[in-house]
Structure 1
Amino acid sequence: MVSPTSPIGVFDSGVGGLTVLHELLVSLPSEDYVYLGDTARFPYGERTQAELKVFAAQIADHLLAAGAKLLVIACNAASSAALHSLQNHLQSIGSDVDVIGVIAPATQLAVAGSRSGRIGVLATRATVLSGAYATAVAAADPHVHLESVACPDLAPAIQSGFPFDEALVEMIRGYCAPLTEAEVDTVILGCTHYPLVAPMLQRALGRGVSLVSSGAGVARSVERALAARQRLNPRPGEGSYRFQCTAAPDRFREVGVRFLQLPFGAVELVNVAPVDMVAP
């Protein structure tokens, strides 16, 4: 049964969503969290919309069974493809658990912060093709111009350990070039992996460009959603957090430590889907 002391469920295709979990742990320290990385089916950025809807429903069912009182889709590709279908899925099974994605919080921060009304977004191919950011920006302010750039190789490079070498620098410069040409003054990091290379992105874009990630906005949205249902954890001290993944738990922990920037405990290996759906 859902209660104020139940955990918040957070999920992503891999370790990128740990940048969102970091913000949640800092902003809402009294809460308990369970984080799931679907590493067996990483990367989500190359998946179809239909696949992502299925994956999101499977993970949601798993986290609900673990007692989650709210779900955070800490992945741009899954948020763009599956937020609404997941909300409908939860409604269909009689659950009143809220689902928070990462698209709207990042968009709101970017639109509010842009001086010129020219915004860029760096994201996976699936997120760009979904048009989710274009829709969100138009809804927030129809006069804002959005320049979208798909970065198919960046999240896999970061997930693998992202050596800070010249090849990665050149990759980032190439992805940032269209945004520089478009004269944007604000860039949304439209993948939760990207904050880990924010200094390299900032250097390529120039100091006059503001970078916006979703973590802080998501934390505010989570707090409002829990407060509205009177589900904020009342404990005075710090809560707990634990990790699950669907493949390679040792590797998940090794890379995840860099993303979370907080103590990292054991990682539980779990299966959230039929075996024939696990392989990419």
Structure 2
Amino acid sequence: MEPTEPTESAEPTEPIESTDLFDAIDRRESSDHSESLDSPQREQSSAHRSQSATPAVSQPRSSAGVTDRDPNDSLPIAVFDSGVGGLTVLHECLVSLPEEDYVYLGDDARFPYGAKTDAELRACVLRNTRFLLERGTKLLVIACNSAASAGLESARELAAAHGVEVVAVIEPEAEIAAAITDSGRVGVLATPATVAGGSYLRALGRQRRELTVTQVAAPDLAAIIQRGFPFSEAVVEQVRSYCAPLRRARVDTVILGCTHYPLVRPMLQRFLGREVRLVTAGHALAAAAERILEARRIASSNRGEGEYRFVCTGDPDAFRELGTRFLQLPLGDVELVDL
């Protein structure tokens, strides 16, 4: 059903501990609901379970009938974002698939994406996708919610001509949120472009569960983070104001609808309340990538750690400094590209 405006309801219940999220999902799965959410694997390590009660993303469309290992298994996984926010997704990929090689494109010359029109976003997505496909990749990850909201289908159409799958944020987060909310009241904190595009409303509406959705646009939050989030009192009050409508709606689950936002998760958790569960896309995307690689027989045969490299369209030195701080790994040389 289509999500509706938030309505007044009981106070949110006490939070479920992360190790109990599997049971929470199991309790909510009906025969209809289980068609859209695969049962999570209980063998996953407890280190992954905090957000890792992650319903599986649908299997890749092109995986049927693949039996032999693809010679392209040595190509890197490509990830792109408007800046450093997508490093939260790359981090999960590095943890879950350490043997793979990666190339990360930060289109920081055109940051922020969240203020652009759909047409502008699609142009950015196609430009980035074309560049990464020409460089050579076996899987494309769109680690930007605004880009995925406006340009996912365009990217998939272009990548399909090269035999490359595309995975993106939004749908995995919607599946998680629908599975773990107790009250059915879900909040979405996102950029203006993502909110206006309605992609989360559509994704949540496909979850076969009655949900009440409150969306809040945060025009400046990604930019604050991209600048290194100098925490003045004015910034703190601004972030608090973004959280206020979600508190008034008494949501018990909030989707962080921009890959920059997990970088300030502690502050958001404080303003939203400890009982509110925060949903991000990193682990779900890494899990989806792993399934696609295995299904298409293009997982790396490397037994050690893979390599990663970075390219950006803006200032390489600034990107390296900020990216190193966020990723907590040395970025090395950052290549400047003109797209």
Relative to the length of structure 1, the TM-score reads: 0.94
2:206 counterpart SS class? helix
Deviations along 1:183-232, whole A, 9 cap, x unmatched?
Answer: 10011110011011100000000010011111001001111111111111
Q: Which residue does the alignment assign to 2:106? A: 37
- Structure 1 window deviating more from structure 2 (225-234 vs 23-32): it is 225-234
- Aligned AA for 2:112? P
Q: Which residue does the alignment assign to 1:146? A: 213
Task: Report the alpha carbon displacement of residue 261 of structure 1 after superposing the two structures with TM.
Answer: 1.9
Q: Which residue does the alignment assign to 1:156? A: 223
Deviations along 1:39-98, whole A, 9 cap, x unmatched?
Answer: 11100001111111111111111111111111001000000000011112233xx21100
Asked if the contact 2:172–2:285 (Cα under 8 Å) also holds between the matched residues in 1, the reply is yes
Task: Report the alpha carbon displacement of residue 2 of structure 1 after superposing the two structures with TM.
Answer: 6.4
Stretches of structure 1 that go unaligned for 5 or more consecutive residues are: 273-280
2:86 corresponds to which of 14, 17, 24: 17
1:165 corresponds to which of 194, 208, 232: 232
- Aligned AA for 2:246? L
1:57 corresponds to which of 107, 117, 126: 126
Q: 1:15 to 1:178 in 2, by over 3 A?
A: same
Q: Which residue does the alignment assign to 1:117? A: 184
1:140 counterpart SS class? coil
Asked if the contact 1:22–1:261 (Cα under 8 Å) also holds between the matched residues in 2, the reply is no
Task: Report the alpha carbon displacement of residue 263 of structure 1 after superposing the two structures with TM.
Answer: 2.4
Asked if the contact 1:32–1:240 (Cα under 8 Å) also holds between the matched residues in 2, the reply is yes
Task: Report the alpha carbon displacement of residue 141 of structure 1 after superposing the two structures with TM.
Answer: 3.0
Distance 2:270 2:108 in 1: 30
How many residues get paired? 270
Distance 1:7 1:89 in 2: 18
- Structure 1 window deviating more from structure 2 (75-84 vs 60-69): it is 60-69
Distance 2:308 2:228 in 1: 23
Asked if the contact 2:178–2:209 (Cα under 8 Å) also holds between the matched residues in 1, the reply is no
- Aligned AA for 2:125? A
1:226 corresponds to which of 289, 293, 296: 293
Distance 2:338 2:155 in 1: 19
Which runs of structure 2 are paired with 1:70-109 in the superposition (5 Å)?
70-91=139-160, 94-109=161-176
Task: Report the alpha carbon displacement of residue 165 of structure 1 after superposing the two structures with TM.
Answer: 2.4
Asked if the contact 1:118–1:186 (Cα under 8 Å) also holds between the matched residues in 2, the reply is yes
Task: Report the alpha carbon displacement of residue 129 of structure 1 after superposing the two structures with TM.
Answer: 0.3
Q: Which residue does the alignment assign to 1:133? A: 200
2:73 counterpart SS class? coil
Which runs of structure 2 are paired with 1:192-211 in the superposition (5 Å)?
192-211=259-278
1:11 counterpart SS class? strand
Q: Which residue does the alignment assign to 1:276? A: none
1:202 counterpart SS class? helix
Asked if the contact 1:2–1:67 (Cα under 8 Å) also holds between the matched residues in 2, the reply is no
Task: Determine what percentage of the aligned residue pairs are the same residue.
Answer: 58
Asked if the contact 1:2–1:69 (Cα under 8 Å) also holds between the matched residues in 2, the reply is no
- Aligned AA for 1:271? D
Task: Report the alpha carbon displacement of residue 164 of structure 1 after superposing the two structures with TM.
Answer: 2.2
Q: 1:202 to 1:69 in 2, by over 3 A?
A: same
Distance 1:107 1:229 in 2: 25
Task: Report the alpha carbon displacement of residue 136 of structure 1 after superposing the two structures with TM.
Answer: 0.2
1:30 counterpart SS class? coil
Asked if the contact 1:243–1:267 (Cα under 8 Å) also holds between the matched residues in 2, the reply is yes
Q: Which residue does the alignment assign to 1:235? A: 302
Work out whether 1:48 is the aligned partner of 2:117. yes
Deviations along 1:6-33, whole A, 9 cap, x unmatched?
Answer: 1000000011101110110011101000
Stretches of structure 2 that go unaligned for 5 or more consecutive residues are: 1-69
User: Runs in 1 of length 4+ with deviation above 6 angstroms?
Assistant: none
